[in-house]
Structure 1
Amino acid sequence: MQTGDKLEQYRQIIQEILTEHSQVKPVYGEIAMKLVFDRERDRYQLLRTGWQGDRRVFGALIHIDIEDGKIWIQYDSTEIGVANELTDQGIPKTDIVLAYHAPFMRQYNGFAIA
């Protein structure tokens, strides 16, 4: 598979996974799920916004970047793990970086180091 085709496939898979997660409504508060896809810069996020009682809720549930042909999971607060979902879709572990792990620890997690 050519690099451009691979990146397009990765973009599509990431968007599908985030879209699926966006359809799950939190059981608490008045929380909306917001998708942010920046295909030009290869930045993909799923945000939570709203209120839980008198407390403001805002932040990323998932943040993924594509850099140098690899998928960098910057943040993932899902139970199943986005990396597992990506590998289930056929993306090799060598193309997935768990950026939320310290660089010196990445050699032990079974995914790409960088």
Structure 2
Amino acid sequence: MLFDAERHHYQVLNIGWKEQRRIYGVIIHVEIKDKKIWIQRDGTEIGITNELIAAGIPKKNIVLGFLAPYKREFTDFAVG
């Protein structure tokens, strides 16, 4: 896990080896910008976005940063 509380960047990484092959990948990348939670990457089965909503975070405070900006307006989430 990587947490940069000063710049409000949070990541969960998969790092290691599987047999002779190197594994490195970002599973979750979340930022807090302009009082909104930006989901930049969500590689989980459950979905970090669903977890945030279940925790009481309103959709208007969540930006799906992995979507192109023009597509965000067609969701129930913040556009940015």
TM over 0.5: yes
Flag the structure with larger Rg.
Answer: 1
User: Which residue is 1:47 aligned to?
Assistant: 13
Unaligned runs of 5+ in 2: none
Question: How far apart, in 2, do the equivalents of 1:106 and 1:53 lie?
Answer: 40
Equivalent position SS for 2:45: coil
Question: How far apart, in 2, do the equivalents of 1:36 and 1:99 lie?
Answer: 19
1:70 Cα offset (Å): 0.3
More helix by share: 1
Structure 1 residue ranges, 4+ long, deviating more than 2 angstroms after superposition: none
Question: How far apart, in 2, do the equivalents of 1:77 and 1:109 lie?
Answer: 19
User: Which residue is 1:68 aligned to?
Assistant: 34
More strand by share: 2
TM-score (norm 2): 0.95
Unaligned runs of 5+ in 1: 1-34
CA RMSD of superposed structures (Å)? 0.8
Relative contact order: is structure 1 or structure 2 higher (C-alpha 8 Å, sep ≥ 6)? 2
1:109 Cα offset (Å): 2.1
Q: How many corresponding residue pairs? A: 80
Q: Deviations over 1:41-98 (max 9, x none)?
A: 0000001110122110012100000000000011110111111100100000000000
Question: How far apart, in 2, do the equivalents of 1:63 and 1:106 lie?
Answer: 18
TM-score (norm 1): 0.68
